[in-house]
Structure 1
Amino acid sequence: MIIPLFRLSQSPDTVTLQITAKYIKLKDLELIVEGEEIFFYCKPYHLKLHLPGSLDSEILNSKYDVDSGLLTFEMRKTTPGENFKNLDLITRLLAPVEEKKKTDKILILDDEHNVLWEDTPETSFEYGFAMKGLYDFHRVIDEYGDIIKVDPRKIDIEERFKLMRLEECQKFNADHYIADFVEEESLIQELVDLESPWSSKSKSSLEFDDSEIEILKNLSNKNYNLSEEQRKYCYYSLIDILFAYCYDSRTTSFEGNSESGWTILEISASLRWLIGFKDAKSTLLSAYRRSLIYPLYRNFNLCNKILSDLKTILALGVKGIVKCFLEIYNIFLSGDECRYILNDIFIKDYLVYMAKWSEEEWNNVVKEVSDIVIDKKDLNMSLYEIERDFLTKVLQVNELDSDDEVENEEEITKDLEKIFTEKLVLVEKELELQKNPTSTK
């Protein structure tokens, strides 16, 4: 049976259900409303919904548009004025599917039904959404080793973090960082000055289009039983992934490109290294570091702007975040690499769970993120020292060579000299402040 495309909306006293079902026979149609349950059937479509509030069994109004195949049903709320929360997050309204129990054993058989491999609860490991893990990771790592850096069956979370930091130290390119530090007044500034499309949005203005609803309706409505530690992993990895998405969005002028999947994967330690975070500060420090090591544009002020974009999206609430994760889902699905596996390990579960989580807990995470300010010294990458050494050297060389400049070049050099001198003063103040924390800037 096919789950049809559907939408729910409400007024203070009614709920309206719209279902797109083309080429049906109306004589076969059944719609039953029983309290919080709605049952719809019309071959080949079938829909069962569990609403957050009760409805009267009587259908107030119904109509069918033959050309569009749109069925509309209006129903009265049992309690007039009651607000049904998150009706547009439709996955949570579908009939729930129970998660596979940890006691289940999975067998992989050949064509003659001989056991090639079996998995038991003792061989499950922490990784993926909320560090819940999967039973068949042997197939994931064999086929997608170029996407995921580590095998969680062999390397625990603490060791993954150590290996990741070691690679980051090896990959950091001071020359690339300085090049983007110099370009800060031109190319980088253009990226920073771009207006985010999210800045003009509000919670009430966000709507899901048909393509987004198509994804949401086809997800399995799982029931999650997460420990406190697993919920922390869930929340902070979401921040990590969303920061990576914001970086890609801004650096592609909010249009995306063929490298978007790679960029998001490299910046997010949760995706690339199966790392888990337990607080917002360490999550954002990781995202900043990786943004200064791997992608095309490596600039600290750009990272600050991306953090601002992240905070803007978080302020839009769950629906805004879901829309971003739907875009991430499509990016991973459509890429020329095998990154679609990340949808199965992370993104699908996030799309389902976001409509179910504790709003109070999540709001605490949002507040935590909103209060965070990152300084270069927090990254432990010696950025101030690198900048000081470069600026000191280039200004010394410029002073020695100034007599050989032609007039136009001299004007340009003087402009740059002024900019670099100002930067050097700020850098030296920051370094002095690190030596004497009690002094004022």
Structure 2
Amino acid sequence: MITPRFSCNQTDTSVTVRMYCPSVRASDVEINVDETLFTIHINPYFLRLNFPGRILEDDKSSAQYDPSSGYLTVSLTKEVKGEEFKDLDLLAKLLAPRPSKDQPSQPMIEVLDSESTSDDGEEDLVNRTNQLNLDSEQQTILEAAENDWQLPQSVPDPLPALHTSLQKPYGFLDMYTGYFAHVEHTENEVNELGSLADTLSIDQRRKMRLKHEEEKWDEEYYMADFADDSYIRELIAWRHPHALIDAQDPFNYTEEEKAAMLRLPRKEYLATPVQTHNLYLTLLTLLFSYAYDSRTTQQDPTPESAWTICSLTPAFSALDPPPYATSPLPRSPSEFSCAELSAVFTTVYRRALAFGLYRSWKLAEKCRTDVADFLSKGKRLVTRCLLEMKHILDHHEVYYVYSKVWTDDFCVWVQAYASDDVLRDLAERIRALKLDKESTGWDLEESEEAVQGELERDSDSDDESADEVERMAAEPL
């Protein structure tokens, strides 16, 4: 079946679906409505949409086909008049499967704090209860035999997971394997794991990533860009078009963007709270690499753009996504600590300073501001950024693989599962971050002071030369 191009709009009382299906017989159309689910089949096209609210197929509903244009227009009645259906322009969210009603629920009990309470009465009760323990284990067993007590038992520790394959999962929610089995036969210049990419654990990947960053760090390169930063200052002063979009005035996706959404996978993601939390952190690294490339190219991608994006994203080049900081498990998917956000941006800063064409701390800081700007506009703009990144990767003969294992799923997840409130909260937290140069592990301050000292000496030397010339010119011949 073919998924047709389509668009949705609404009024206070109805929802209209307009789909392009040329050269079909209107009499063959089959429409079905089930609460929020709408399906339509007209050979060879099939469309299934899951709306955010209930719809009805009643006497006010209609379907009209225009043979000259090839468009079929279906109007459906809202069950609740005046209800606003949000995100009708996020096509991937509409196409996502409806969550299963039989899906087992997540555990409803969560230990938030292991510290004892400060209530004196409760502490006294616990102490008195503990004093009731019998003096010896032998006496306990004898009395248990006489009175048929049920001795306390505990479940044995589970056995370690049995791995029947050497391959280790990676990618979005660790759903992929085998994509790098023959990577040594491709010209993948960003892969830092070599032929072992499919078999290394996350700890091994991280060690190799850090080692590679240390090898690529070039102090002289950084000092040269710090000394001659006139072009970098121009890049920093450039205003990103996405930052100028008014969050209160939603934009319309282009036809090319809509077509890209229709080609995205149709998946339902059952992520745990911890996985959801980590996906938000990984999203920050993707947006940072996109911001760096779009700023340094002024949103005019070059043949090197795919390499830049992949090299600056640890989840791509080393299959090493966040978190990068050791911290307690989050109480909720939307709770982010300053330490873990700092660790995420310190990691991508290191990548930008070790691999970027322009290696500047100020440029990295500006890219972080761009990420905050994107997030503050909500998931629609974030989706547009991801679609632009996907377009760059999809058109590269090697690096398209990272679009398959990461970007495609992120485009769907952001539309269908990400929260605008969480994204905007992240934006505020990112703007408030204070990162220091020492966190990179490199002596950036010392390098900059060395450059400043050399520039001052050169300036003094030039002044002395100018004074000498003036003195000689003033002497009589």
Q: How many angstroms apart in 2 are the aligned matches of 1:326 and 1:381?
A: 34
Write the letter of the residue equivalent to 2:373.
Answer: T
Listed as ranges, the matches of 1:33-48 within 5 Å are 33-48=33-48
Listed as ranges, the matches of 1:106-121 within 5 Å are none
Write the letter of the residue equivalent to 2:172.
Answer: F
1:366–1:312 CA distance, 2 compared to 1 (3 A)? closer
1:72–1:189 CA distance, 2 compared to 1 (3 A)? same
- How far apart are residue 367 of structure 1 and its match? 4.1
Q: How many angstroms apart in 2 are the aligned matches of 1:314 and 1:256?
A: 22
Counterpart of 1:111 in structure 2 is none
Verify: 1:251 aligned to 2:296, yes or no.
Answer: yes
Listed as ranges, the matches of 1:277-356 within 5 Å are 277-278=322-323, 279-335=340-396, 337-356=397-416
Counterpart of 1:53 in structure 2 is 53
Taking structure 2 as the reference length, what is the TM-score of the superposition? 0.74
Q: How many angstroms apart in 2 are the aligned matches of 1:179 and 1:324?
A: 31
Q: How many angstroms apart in 1 are the aligned matches of 2:451 and 2:284?
A: 33
Q: Report if aligned partners of 1:4, 1:19 keep a CA contact under 8 Å in 2.
A: yes
- How far apart are residue 31 of structure 1 and its match? 2.8
1:393-421 Cα deviation digits (max 9, x unpaired): 3322443454445999xxxxxxxxxxxxx
Seq. identity, %: 26
Write the letter of the residue equivalent to 1:79.
Answer: V
Write the letter of the residue equivalent to 2:292.
Answer: Y
1:376–1:228 CA distance, 2 compared to 1 (3 A)? same
* Matched residue SS, 2:89: coil
Counterpart of 1:210 in structure 2 is 255
Aligned mate of 1:199, from 240, 243, 251: 243
Aligned mate of 1:148, from 167, 191, 203: 191
Q: How many angstroms apart in 1 are the aligned matches of 2:430 and 2:191?
A: 27
Write the letter of the residue equivalent to 1:357.
Answer: Y
Q: Report if aligned partners of 2:371, 2:427 keep a CA contact under 8 Å in 1.
A: no
- How far apart are residue 299 of structure 1 and its match? 1.4
Higher mean displacement: 32-41 or 238-247: 32-41
Counterpart of 1:419 in structure 2 is none
1:309-333 Cα deviation digits (max 9, x unpaired): 1111111111111111111111011
Aligned mate of 2:264, from 198, 215, 219: 219
Q: How many angstroms apart in 2 are the aligned matches of 1:375 and 1:157?
A: 27
Q: Report if aligned partners of 2:6, 2:18 keep a CA contact under 8 Å in 1.
A: yes
Counterpart of 1:32 in structure 2 is 32
Listed as ranges, the matches of 1:67-78 within 5 Å are 67-78=68-79
* Ranges of 4+ aligned residues in structure 1 off by more than 3 Å: 59-68, 119-124, 137-147, 151-154, 360-368, 400-408
Verify: 1:136 aligned to 2:181, yes or no.
Answer: no
Q: Report if aligned partners of 1:37, 1:49 keep a CA contact under 8 Å in 2.
A: yes
Counterpart of 1:168 in structure 2 is 213
* Matched residue SS, 2:36: strand
Verify: 1:85 aligned to 2:86, yes or no.
Answer: yes
Q: How many angstroms apart in 1 are the aligned matches of 2:345 and 2:96?
A: 36
Structure 2 gap segments, 5+ residues each? 101-161, 324-339, 470-477
1:135–1:356 CA distance, 2 compared to 1 (3 A)? same
1:32-85 Cα deviation digits (max 9, x unpaired): 333322221222211122222111213545444444322222222000122223
Q: Report if aligned partners of 2:379, 2:418 keep a CA contact under 8 Å in 1.
A: no
